[in-house]
Chains A and B, each alone.
Chain A
Amino acid sequence: MVVRAAENSTVEMRGVYAKTLIDMARSDSRVVALDCDLAAPIGIIGMAKEFPKRLIDCGIMEANMAGVAAGMSARGCIPFTHTFACFQSRKCLDQIFLSAGFADLNVKFVGSDPGILALYNGASHMGLEDMGVLRNVPNLTLLEPSDSVMLENLLRQVKDTYGLFYIRMNRKNATTIYEPATDFTIGKGLELRKGRDVTIFASGIMVEQALRAAELLAAQKIDAQVIDLFTWHPIDRDLIVRSAKETGAVVTAENHRVASGLGAAVASVLLENCPVPMERVGIGDVYGEVGELPYLMEQFHLRAEDIALKAEKAVARKREQFTFFSKF
């Protein structure tokens, strides 16, 4: 695996999503795609040419789509449903919970434009809490791929693994982080950069920011470890605890509400196993707003600079603790 964030090469995620899904549909007749009038924006519309019956546009009926997907799964299909992340979570929680989850079915839910990636669609379309909402569904695996290489890999694994999955994905251009054919294990984080002073956990668009933050920190002689924690649930407890023990300070970075997201999940693990100074980068108790990505990154304090500041704070707290305890 080579980290190539510095090269700024990007790939459109929706193209990879559509290509992978159609490819899987060719080799596995159980694969069907369901959408709520967003088949064109997610790029899956081409599937209709080859498999007219296996791309189902449900119209603008998110709750019904989740129920239909559950029913199709009960009959042996492997449905991939898609709508915007905000609607895939907020509008379908009960259906995902009961008809798919409690029924122990095999449905794959995909939400696009998560968090601030809704850009000019504004607050109504910003799924700032999609993962938090769905984390309440038992046995639902939550994934946020960081680039197109990971997206394709995870889609194939998700198709071949029975059970409930939710994938929140950037629909547009994403910076390539991973070399082609990199292996990813669902439930396991990946160390992208070694470091001794602080650990930064990130996923999705925040991975690139975390890597940049590590460079900023290096200039201040802070050696940051960066981990791509693309599985939010079930979370990689072992890796979190091991890293916290090694570096003694933790920062989480998420394009999501901190109250219910990656930071909350990591904090629970730390609190129960290995409490260390921790800082969280993410969205607070506010609604979204319209803007281009750089503006929103700045407005919601999601930039590399914001991560670096929090990392400095975590490291300072660690040192204070060390000074305090060394008095005794």
Chain B
Amino acid sequence: MENELKRLKKIAIQIRRDIIETASFGKGGAIHVGPALSSADIVTALYFKIMHVDPSNPNWEDRDRFILSKGHAYAVLYSALAEKGFFPREELMTARALNSRLQGHPVLGKTPGVDMVSGSLGNGLSCGVGIATALKMQCRHARVYVMLGDGEIQEGMVWEAAMYAGNHGLDNLTAIVDYNHFQSCGAENEIMPLYPLADKWRAFGWQVMEMNGHDMADIVRGLSMAKEFAGRPVCVIAHTVKGKGISFIEHNNKWHVGRCTMDQHTQAMKELDEQETAVEAGLM
């Protein structure tokens, strides 16, 4: 397990490198850096440990599905898909650029490995509910993962889907809330607080788990356990830091969308290299 965690942590670092590379040299200009970095460890765990997917067969019927309902974190999804082998890594530099398969927000049918369109906040959980409902009807055992932004769940439609999933006992569905406490224009607590978040999901009939969204051991343990609850859907509240992994981006909402200068790129890469050394040494 030790080595397995080390492997996953190194992939998460590589995915963060991809995000920074895209933010520095991508042809599409500025990208949503903060929201992508905050989800990086969870998305790594999903694609490289938890989910059953096959990059050589993106439409495999029995694959697990992932819906990035917080579609503005596209950079983490594109990076994970590239690292997993769904398309060449070089293509990441075309994200948000003209004629790219990697559009401004995830598009079903356009990017290999993307399981649903997103970009209009609030829509993804309902789509996940639909896929999970159909999988049950068809007696398939694949699972559905939906990643929600914490700001996103201010949308009323999320709670329609939550009520539906709870009442229908969709135990093949896991919702993950990336709880980084920021939304586009500032701190959630100043704009529209979510408290008491866990109680809200419980009240809608969900099994709720909380985890440190940057502790790989915690993430893997939590998401593995989430598969085992029978009779109800699981909501994982992942406590995260917006911009996690890069000192000058962490907790800094100016990096909701941004473009790295050469100096910032150098600094970020240095920090990521140091993190990798620390992981290798078993210090992180």
Contact = CB atoms under 8 A, between A and B. Distances in A.
A245 B131 CA distance: 50
Interface in B105-132: 107-109, 115-117, 119-120, 123, 125-132
Chain A at the B interface: SS class = helix
B163 A61 contact: yes
B44 interface: no
Interface residues of A, number: 29
Given A59-B164, A95-B123, A98-B123, A68 B108 contact: no
Given A75-B135, A99-B123, A67 B130 contact: yes
Contacts of B128: 71
A102 B129 CA distance: 18
A153 B117 CA distance: 32
Contact of B108 (A53, A64, A94, A103): A103
A190 interface: no
Contact of A67 (B107, B108, B127, B137): B127
A63 B119 CA distance: 16
Given A61-B163, A99-B117, A103-B116, A75 B134 contact: yes
Interface in A29-83: 32, 53-54, 56, 58-59, 61, 63-64, 66-77, 79
Contacts, number: 97
B131 A74 contact: yes
A66 to B, nearest CB: 7
B157 interface: yes
19 contacts: A32-B137, A54-B137, A58-B164, A61-B160, A61-B164, A64-B157, A64-B160, A64-B161, A67-B125, A67-B127, A69-B130, A71-B126, A71-B131, A72-B130, A74-B115, A74-B127, A75-B130, A75-B134, A95-B123
Interface of A: 32, 53-54, 56, 58-59, 61, 63-64, 66-77, 79, 94-95, 98-99, 102-104
Given A59-B164, A67-B130, A103-B116, 15 more contacts: A63-B126, A67-B125, A71-B116, A71-B127, A71-B130, A71-B134, A74-B116, A74-B130, A76-B134, A76-B138, A94-B120, A98-B117, A102-B107, A103-B108, A104-B108
Interface of B: 107-109, 115-117, 119-120, 123, 125-135, 137-138, 157, 160-161, 163-164
